Amino acid sequence: MFANLSDRLTETFRNLRGKGRLTEADIDGTIREIRRALLDADVAVPVVRTFTGNIRERALGAEVSGALNPGQQVVKIVNEELVAILGGEARQLRFAKNGPTVIMLAGLQGAGKTTLAGKLAHHLKQQGHTPLLVAADLQRPNAVTQLKVVGERAGVPVFAPEAGVTREDERPRGNPVKVAKKGLKEAEQRQHSVVIVDTAGRLGIDQELMKQASDIRKAVEPDEVLFVIDAMIGQDAVATATAFQEGVDFTGVVLTKLDGDARGGAALSVAEVTGRPIMFASTGEKLDDFEVFHPDRMASRILDMGDILTLIEQAERTFDQAEAERMAEKVTKGEDFTLADFLSQMQQLKNMGSMKKMLTMLPGMGQIRDQIENFDERELVRTEAIIQSMTPAERDNPKILNGSRRSRIAAGSGMQVSDVNSLVKRFEQAQQMMRAMSRGGGMPGMPGMPGAGGAPGAFGGLPGGKKSKGKQAPQRKVKGKSGNPAKRAQQEAEARNRTTSAPAAAPGSAFGLGQPAPEEVDISSLGGDLGKYLGR
């Protein structure tokens, strides 16, 4: 969503690199480009004025003028101001001390309240809560049915005593206020820890909508009122949020459809204008495409600095701990990495979600955004099909894959033999890397860790100990060589003594620590009849 804004800001900061000093004209030019980028992203005009004004004031101050790298200092200021307008810090849900915690959802029709109700319930269920969904939207056609479907997918019960409207031309039936009150009683009787009330919306702001939402709030006295807003709404986000704040007085904001391709200015406007924190973000259609909103992490994504913490959290939620321990033990013992292991690791990677989303969380990925967008997610499915078409013996020992076996595997997976060959080649590279790690040498092409032996290719730059084709480090030459053979021999001997006087780096000790001192070099052992030149 923030791709265009991120590209514009990154390009603006690139112009500041390498400048040892920033003039007022440089800063004004940078502020001007930032202002244009924010306005193009549909950020509200008052927010843009406040944001750029704060940046200019700080950029002209001592923290930039006295910095060793003023360009980086400006980026730091922009990052901090972005975090500020996004809310400052993440705020967690407030849970009731006694009885069930009541969460009411409010917002316009089409913002995604019903889907979000299921995602929030799923999120709370994973944290050990027992949520109950209450279908109080009796106006939108099939809203009650949709909530039942979403609740079933999330594995959460739905309280729906009224069927609601099922056709466009049907008049609303039932009382949503009474449904909300009954839902709260039901939760108390069944001892649910959280109640999530899904309310009706409208295509636009009107008095009937606000009165109904206000009546439901008075009836159930919610601990949290979450305003659900479509992140693609643009400049209307501020007017809509302000109207709901006056009519319902929400306590937090939830952004939906953050995976869209709109300009996303709503995310940078709502928190600043309303003074209410953005608490959650919906980033896709799946139940797991839901995350706690962290202003600092979102600011890092916008500035193309990545979001490693969110990526780690996703890995911790989805990776099988037992499988990870099994692989770690296998690497420690030096056992070979097999295609069965390769399949297992790939399936765990798939469980983390979209590869494209994960790649965009890495720093600097904005520079290769086109390649990421062109990445085919189905490639993982094809690879999985190829491996699953192999026998257990073939997965454990790919060396037995002759021509006929590869043809059979290609036919069984619906792929070409060239695809099978490509997979086997990639697997061999992964296997080499795992062998290097098991020997303690780290990744191929990287020096071994202290206290561990070097792996194949550890210092050559390529797996298998081959030397890199790049430039080699120049050998140290002895300066001022004498033309006298005796003196030159003595100089070379002294140079060797200086070289060997330092502790030698033995295998298993990258820094040469704890090694015995080398023996003194005997000049006479250098070969040749040098005694006559040394007066012996």
Show binding-site residues for GTP: 107-114, 198-202, 256-259
Which residues have CB under 8 Å from 189's CB, separation 6+? Answer: none
Count of C-beta atoms within a 10 Å radius of residue 192: 23
Paired residues of 256 in beta bridges: 230
Q: Which residues are annotated as a binding site?
A: 107-114, 198-202, 256-259
Task: Please list the residues that pair with 414 across neighbouring strands.
Answer: none
Cα separation, 130 vs 155, whole angstroms:
10
Three-class SS state of 385: helix
Q: Where are the alpha helices (DSSP H) in 439-504?
A: 485-500
Cα separation, 439 vs 441, in Å, equals: 6
Alpha-carbon span 195 to 99, nearest angstrom: 10
The two three-digit tokens of residue 505, written as one number: 């780096």
Structural contact between residues 301 and 259, judged by C-beta atoms closer than 8 angstroms: no
Q: Give the DSSP letter of residue 467.
A: B
Secondary structure of residue 355 in the 3-state scheme? helix
Beta bridge partners of 461: 467
- Integer-rounded Cα Rg, in Å, for the chain is 32
Quick one: how many helices (H) and strands (E) in the chain? 22, 8
